Amino acid sequence: MKGLLAGVPPLLAYLSTASGFAHWLDSGEFVAAAADFGISHPPGHPLASIVLGAANLMPIGALSFRVAVICSVLLAIAAVALFFSFERSLSVTDAIRPSLRFPLALAATWWVAASHGWWFQAVRPEVYALQAALLCIAMERLLCVSISGEEGDVRPLYHAALALGLALANHHFIALLAIVPSLWLLLGIWKIWGWRPFAWSAGFATAGLMTYLYLPLRALQEPFLNLGDPSSPGRFAWVITAQAFQKSISPEAVAPFGETLADVLIATARDLHVATLAVALLGAYFMLRVSSCRKFGLFWLTLWLVYVLGRASLGFVRGNPDAIAYFMVSYASLGIFTAFALGVLISALAEAVPGRPKLAPALGAILALAASFQLVRSVDASTLASFVDTDVFDDGLRRSLPARSIVLVQNPQTIFRYWGGEAEELNRPDVTMIPLPLLSYPKLVDRYVRDEPDLKPLLRSYVLDGTLSAPELQSLAALRPVYVEMDVRTTRELMDLLVPEQLYHRVLTADTTETDEAGAMREHAALWGDLYQRIGEPIDPHTEVQLIWRHYTDSLYFASVGDTNAALRAVAAGLALNPHPNELLMLQEALKNASPGERIDVRPFTIY
């Protein structure tokens, strides 16, 4: 009954706000992986592909919604495990009355589970809800063994090891961070039980890690999504070690550590409220002062530090829900510290007023009910119940393209969105989308060339030179409609061969006339008006980022080809969404001073 009370209210909130369509970022990719149990970007996320693939068994709703429902259930399971972890941690001292343990653990669970950092992982297709469930289960099982002592049962340690091994097969970096704080509790378990339980635990953790064998076995069947093709030992190692991301991380590209750490702390304070941080600090002090709680206090404190410092060391992208997902476990630390501080204070108050025995449980119940206020704080930022933006974009990205089109895409979110939509609908098998940033993935170019030999000259020149060849593009455009997604890497030579169409730019052929180009410009402007109308207000923050980027790249194109008025309109559209980008402001000034038809060198206004 306690578990239901802890998990059902968050589950209802999650389900009622889940996305009917896949969101931005990686959501489309994980829908594509779930469609036929495919292989996502390194490290492959084999467990997520299996678990999220269970959405195919659900009888209602679009696949993306069903995957979001699975994420909601997983995060509700995480909340239940978190509740029992909190209740166990509050039971290790007599400084907190037994009647307070349940309501305070419940209040802390609801406060954490209703935070934006948790909630947003439950309403969109992603791997983080599964990760939170596994790590919270591992924490609860580890605390169970540690608190029970010599008279307890060591078998929960094996459950924790299995959960950790499975977590390593889902998102290994987040799982590895959890090992460090566990050492405070594992040392005590070693003193009581010796080495044998750890040998068994290693076996259970290895069993969880065996999930990675799914990758080569599934790759041999060539699923719809098969990134890295880990069917050979070398490619398998390439995928699970995430070498693609290691090579792409440049120390110069990461903000100073102090700046990213400040961003992490600000995001945490905003999500949980600054008052929670203040009370949590007091709770950490109390927990470390009480000898019976000290090792548990060190466990929770180290847990918080490891995840905060770990995320800060990687860099922190403001407003990125994937970055905030790293804090899900660290929020648990702040939750237990806050509950501990309140428990000690209310217990002391009850001792000071001995004539009112119901005071402490009444205050605990009030706090549990007050925790529901977190739902109100977070719902606007977290709900995706009315989100349709990616579905609206799909018309221009995929559905409305001419037959047998070839689309050369630069933006990773466009790539993932395309894969997710097509895996779910399977309505444009005639269109070929080429993900340019991912062509370095093993066997990906070979797969395209094998399926469509016409692409060989273009892909060969791109792999060799790192840029699209204008002659090869025009040769291909003479055979099939070819589209290029506008990007800062698009050269001026290439821009002269393009004209806006749908949400891309079409490669011109020799028989294209000026009338055709003018018509394409008018249709492009009308498309944006229709798109804004269908998205509606307010605009989702992540959709806003996509819109600004497209208006920005459009402005670079129009300025380069000398269409000053169209460039000014694109700049104005971007600044209407966000009036602060320096590149757009500077380009606007340059356009205002330009003569009609003057081509502008956009390099000073280009983000590299």
In tens, the pLDDT along 54-90 reads 999 888 888 999 999 999 999 999 999 999 999 999 9
Tokens coding 595: 């003569």
Which of 339 and 515 is assigned the larger pLDDT? 339
Kindly report, residue by residue over 304-317, the tens digit of the pLDDT: 999 998 888 877 66
User: What three-state secondary structure class fits 601?
Assistant: coil
Could you tell me where the DSSP H helices lie in 315-425? 321-324, 328-352, 359-370, 373-382, 389-394, 412-425
Rounded Cα gap, residues 10 and 16, in angstroms: 10
- In the DSSP assignment, the letter for residue 508 is P
Mean pLDDT over residues 346-366, rounded?
Answer: 77
Contacts of 483 (CB under 8 A, 6+ apart): 401, 405, 406, 407, 408, 501, 502, 504, 505, 506, 507
The confidence score (pLDDT) of residue 96 equals 87
Kindly report, residue by residue over 105-144, the tens digit of the pLDDT: 999 999 999 999 999 999 999 999 999 999 999 999 999 9
Q: Among 397, 411, 404, which residue's Cα sits nearest to residue 429?
A: 404
Rounded Cα gap, residues 93 and 289, in angstroms: 11
> Among 18-27, 269-278, 355-364, 398-407, where is mean pLDDT lowest?
355-364
Mean pLDDT over residues 248-268, rounded?
Answer: 70
Tokens coding 317: 């992208």
**pLDDT over threshold 60, residue 246:** no
**Which pTM value belongs to this model?**
0.92
**pLDDT over threshold 60, residue 481:** yes
- Using CA atoms, how far residue 269 sits from 56, 319, 327, 334, in Å, is 38, 14, 12, 10
**pLDDT over threshold 60, residue 254:** no
Mean pLDDT of the residues in the chain: 89
**pLDDT over threshold 70, residue 248:** no
Mean pLDDT over residues 574-597, rounded?
Answer: 90
